[in-house]
């Protein structure tokens, strides 16, 4: 019996990257989900990708494509160029994201899951483009949404993401850290934790060592932790980053607030990515605090392996399962 729930929409990403491949690989081995799953992208692109995959795997040799597709492809004008940065591919990939997000905002869909796009390609159409997170945030009226990475029981929310390290230090304000802490606490509760324990990373080595290595902890992070605790959020910090992440992995904390992009991403991807011979890439990127549910792969467009049959769909599967779990 077909599901009566609204669908989860998966955007296929940049046509020149690994997005179409991982989408087809996911759909051909789609696990049982509460919500129906629909791809958002270009039928012709997916058909060309299917033909390529058929050369490597008999599962893709069918001439008819059973994958449900919500197509919106006027922006894609030109041939597929695997591994190339293309204005048309960038325009199409972000148009599909916009379409999917609008469907969720209007109540037609339950969630959007995004395959990777190329920021450089999209920037050729949208000047100063930063990424999925900020673009969808702008659509929802929040120009500075919160990015979180999820890998099993590992959850890290970020105070800042796509900006220079110098600007990231300026963005680590008490107000912003409190916002991230509240959203992380709510997200952990949605995952089933009744009283989440949150570790707050410092921004300097050794969390500043009482002012020896910087004053950001004293001026911004400590006041933020005090405000969070005054609101009955179990936050502890600032803690040295090289301590709080091992504590997260050991279960001392249920989630961690990272102060900037690489502080949270490097350690998470080290755990979630296996880039050796048996390539497997896991983990989920999700956006907190928006009126819509959005999850994403935790990797890039993979131009170096695009359209070669080598891309692993694990991260996309993780993103779909998390969206299916959280969506109503």
pLDDT tens digits along 15-39: 999 999 999 999 988 999 999 999 9
**146-278 matches 1-145+290-328 in CATH topology:** yes
CB atoms within 10 A of CB 274: 13
Compare 164 and 57 and report the one with higher pLDDT: 164
Question: Stretch 102-119: mean pLDDT, rounded?
Answer: 96
- In whole angstroms, give the CA distance from residue 9 to residue 41: 10
| CATH superfamily ID and name for 1-145+290-328 | Isopropylmalate Dehydrogenase (3.40.718.10)
Please say if the pLDDT value at position 64 is more than 60. no
Q: Look-up: residue for tokens 């549910």?
A: 293
The token pair that represents 80 in the structure block: 């597929």
User: Residue 15: left (phi > 0), alpha (psi -120 to 50), or beta?
Assistant: alpha
pLDDT tens digits, 164-200: 999 999 999 999 999 999 999 999 999 999 999 999 9
Please say if the pLDDT value at position 273 is more than 60. yes
pLDDT of residue 106: 94
Question: Stretch 228-232: mean pLDDT, rounded?
Answer: 98
H helix and E strand count, the chain = 12, 13
Domain boundaries, the chain: 1-145+290-328, 146-278
Question: Stretch 269-289: mean pLDDT, rounded?
Answer: 88
Percent of the chain with pLDDT over 70: 94
Please say if the pLDDT value at position 214 is more than 50. yes
Given 3.30.365.10, 1.10.3720.10, 3.20.20.140, 3.40.718.10, which CATH number is that of 146-278? Answer: 3.40.718.10
pLDDT of residue 115: 97
pLDDT of residue 188: 97
CB atoms within 10 A of CB 140: 18
Question: Stretch 82-100: mean pLDDT, rounded?
Answer: 93
Question: Stretch 243-253: mean pLDDT, rounded?
Answer: 97
- In whole angstroms, give the CA distance from residue 326 to residue 188: 11
DSSP labels, 5-41: SPPEEEE---TTSSHHHHHHHHHHTPPP-SS-EEEEE
The partner residues of 296 in beta bridges, in order of sequence, read 114, 285
The token pair that represents 327 in the structure block: 């969506």
């Amino acid at each position: 019996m077909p599901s009566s729930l609204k669908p989860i929409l998966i955007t296929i990403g940049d046509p020149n990257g690994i997005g179409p491949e991982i989408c087809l690989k996911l759909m051909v081995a789609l696990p049982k989900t509460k919500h129906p799953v629909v791809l958002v992208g270009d039928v012709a692109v997916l058909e060309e990708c299917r033909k390529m995959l058929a050369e490597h795997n008999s599962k893709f040799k069918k001439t008819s494509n059973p994958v449900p597709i919500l197509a919106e492809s006027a922006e894609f004008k030109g041939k597929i160029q695997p591994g190339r940065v293309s204005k048309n591919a960038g325009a199409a990939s972000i148009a599909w994201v916009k379409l999917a997000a609008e469907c969720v905002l209007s109540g037609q869909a339950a969630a959007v899951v995004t395959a990777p796009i190329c920021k450089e390609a999209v920037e050729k159409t949208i000047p100063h483009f930063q990424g999925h997170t900020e673009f969808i945030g702008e659509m929802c009226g929040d120009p500075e949404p919160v990015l979180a990475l999820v890998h099993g029981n590992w959850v890290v929310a970020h105070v800042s993401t796509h900006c220079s390290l110098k600007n990231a230090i300026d963005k680590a304000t008490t107000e912003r850290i409190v916002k991230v802490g509240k959203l992380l606490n709510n997200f952990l509760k949605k995952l089933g934790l009744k009283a989440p324990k949150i570790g707050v990373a410092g921004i300097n080595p050794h969390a500043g060592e009482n002012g020896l290595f910087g004053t950001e902890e004293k001026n911004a992070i400590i006041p933020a932790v005090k405000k969070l605790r005054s609101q009955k959020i179990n936050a502890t910090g600032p803690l040295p980053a090289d301590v709080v992440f091992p504590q997260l992995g050991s279960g001392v904390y249920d989630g961690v607030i990272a102060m900037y992009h690489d502080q949270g991403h490097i350690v998470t991807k080290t755990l979630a990515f296996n880039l050796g011979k048996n390539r497997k890439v896991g983990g989920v990127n999700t956006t907190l605090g928006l009126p819509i549910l959005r999850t994403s792969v935790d990797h890039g467009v993979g131009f170096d392996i695009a359209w070669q049959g080598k891309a692993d769909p694990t991260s996309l599967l993780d993103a779909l399962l998390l969206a299916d779990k959280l969506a109503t």
